[in-house]
Chain A
Amino acid sequence: MTGAPILQVEHLEMRFGGLVAVHDLSFAANRGDITALIGPNGAGKTTVFNCITGFYKPSTGMLRLVTSDGASHLLERLPDFRIAQEARVARTFQNIRLFPGMSLLENLLVAQHNTLMRASGYTVLGLFGFGSYTRAEAAAVENARYWLDRIGLLPRADDAAGELPYGAQRRLEIARAMCSAPELLCLDEPAAGLNARESAELEDLLLFIREQHRTSILLIEHDMSVVMRMSDRIVVLDYGTKICEGTPAQVRNDPKVIAAYLGVEEEEVDKVEAEVGL
């Protein structure tokens, strides 16, 4: 499956008033890959995510997503709920956004809204217990149980999501995103605030999602060990522009990336700038 791009970002530009958060960014994420988007704080990574998921409308540029049925969707033109429905993009947030007052099970059922909408023929028929809808609802609950079991939270299915510890909330948010059966899963710093063990569990979960569900993943992450281990490709942003793109090995040794992350000694500035081509 790897190879054909699932997401193509072309000349994406996002301005907030005079501030250019993302400037002329182009990259592609391949189907079946884990593509990481890294860069120092404020580089515009989350802004790119917000454009892809319809949270922001880009100032200019094109975001093309090709679903597995071959249909191509221009994300910048779709309202956000249709990006989830038709283009099959799901996301998680840097600061977790669950439905805190609803149970774990309900959090996962809301995410299956579209499957259930199709089953009820987009009407209120579901209310009256028609057979096909009842079956769809049962299947949705089964799917939710499957994910709860996978993230180890099945015993807490009926607790309110807001009562979970932080690491569990992160896992639940990923499970919720997966319940909407996405083709592209966008994770915004999924390892932030996790301890080493939780972080290892997260890596397992993401690999499981990629292998078993063939979901392509777009990842923002600051934990470089996670990024280097997991990613097939890495796109590095700094000040809203792409400074490097390639495999983990290529990115690790790129002087521009090292300069952007670590800064450079005073006397080396000229030398590095010459190398970088500034």
Chain B
Amino acid sequence: MEYFVQQLINGVALGSIYGLIAIGYTMVYGIIGMINFAHGDIFMVGAFVALITFLVLVAIGVTALPLALFLVLLVAMALTALYGWTVERIAYRPLRRSFRLAPLISAIGMSIILQNYVQIAQGARVKPLPPLITGGYTLFESNDFAVQLSNVQILIIWLTFTLMIAFSWMIAKTRLGRDMRACEQDARMASLVGVDTDRTISLTFVIGAALAAVAGMMYLLYYGVADFYIGFIAGVKAFTAAVLGGIGSLPGAMLGGLLIGLIETFWSAYFSVEYKDVAAFAVLIVVLIFLPTGILGRPEIEKV
């Protein structure tokens, strides 16, 4: 029982990170119908920007932890959003009217470019960050097993839920959210009523990248390491989460992220760590066989 609760906490923390990345996949898919395979690497860039900002802040003597965290969050979101914008501008927008596979290929190209760029600029070695947020709470203790909720986990879960609520509000209530949904349903029509679709698509990438940057920073705080390759596996997992939840659906991405995080954690806890990725992907396959549009995806009903 204690062991179970502990794994539940770990799983939710991990799932939060996947969920934030998955939103980027699902938003871009919703609006332009392509999988942005460079999104995982945008997450990796976010982690690196966060790492560098931490080191710079320490070097110039900003040591108050809440202030430092806040500044790192802002800088990481801003710079990573710029990366997201640039990727869309140079790799996808010129191919907007092209055949469907073209932007997919250029997305894979962009992913390789970002990985190698960070590898060359930062070196291939794993970069450590000393644990900044330590301590936590012992929830309860029995049979020599203490259920721990660490401060990092609290931060991750709190930040994720705050961002997801803010983000859902933005999509549901604001003009930008309305424009995004209109572009998602019929981009050509949206532009005929005066919506600048290119700008809306750019903003989608910017927001997706900013959320991925938050995920990157949290990953860095949680695991304390980053290298140029973390984007690949995290990206594939988050993509799986988006598909599992129903690609194109925002609550689906959040739910899918949580599920993938939980499956992975429980599998490693009760079965074998080596096969945790196999478990996550196997669940994806099973879900897709029985629910081809994902858990919360809307099936397309064709009217005749």
Contacts and interface: CB of A to CB of B under 8 A. Distances in A.
A81 B197 contact: yes
B185 A102 contact: yes
A245 B189 CA distance: 31
Contacts of A83: 192
Contacts of B188: 55, 80, 97
A262 B178 CA distance: 48
Interface string B150-193: 00000000000000000000100011101101100110111111
Contacts of A102: 178, 181-182, 185
Nearest to A97: B189
Smallest CB-CB A-B distances: 9 pairs: A84-B194, A81-B191, A99-B185, A111-B193, A110-B182, A114-B194, A85-B194, A97-B189, A80-B191
A127 B170 contact: yes
B185 A113 contact: no
A110 B176 CA distance: 9
Q: How large is the interface on B (under 10, 10 to 19, 20 to 34, 35 or more residues)?
A: 20 to 34
Given A113-B179, A124-B176, A84 B185 contact: no
Given A99-B181, A100-B185, A101-B185, A113 B193 contact: yes
Contacts of A111: 193-194
A109 interface: yes
A120 interface: yes
Given A81-B197, A84-B192, A113-B193, A101 B175 contact: no
B247 to A, nearest CB: 15
Interface of B: 170, 174-176, 178-179, 181-182, 185-186, 188-197, 298
B203 to A, nearest CB: 9
A126 interface: yes
A179 B193 CA distance: 9
A116 interface: yes
A106 interface: yes
A58 to B, nearest CB: 17
Contacts, number: 74
Given A102-B178, A180-B194, 11 more contacts: A80-B188, A81-B195, A84-B191, A91-B192, A97-B188, A110-B182, A110-B195, A113-B179, A120-B175, A127-B170, A137-B175
Contacts of A21: none
A110 B193 contact: yes
A137 B176 CA distance: 12
Nearest to B194: A84
A124 B188 CA distance: 23
B192 A110 contact: no
B174 A110 contact: no
Nearest to A108: B193
A176 interface: yes
A110 B170 contact: no
B243 to A, nearest CB: 20
B176 A109 contact: no
Contacts of A110: 178-179, 182, 190, 193, 195
B182 A99 contact: yes
Residue in B170, B181, B191 whose Cβ sees the most chain A Cβ within 10 Å: B191
Nearest to B172: A106
A126 B170 CA distance: 11
A53 interface: yes
A219 interface: no
Interface in A78-120: 79-81, 83-85, 90-91, 97-102, 106, 109-111, 113-114, 116-117, 120
23 contacts: A54-B192, A55-B188, A80-B188, A81-B195, A81-B196, A83-B192, A84-B193, A91-B192, A99-B182, A101-B298, A102-B178, A106-B178, A109-B175, A110-B178, A110-B195, A111-B194, A113-B179, A114-B194, A116-B175, A117-B175, A120-B175, A124-B176, A176-B193
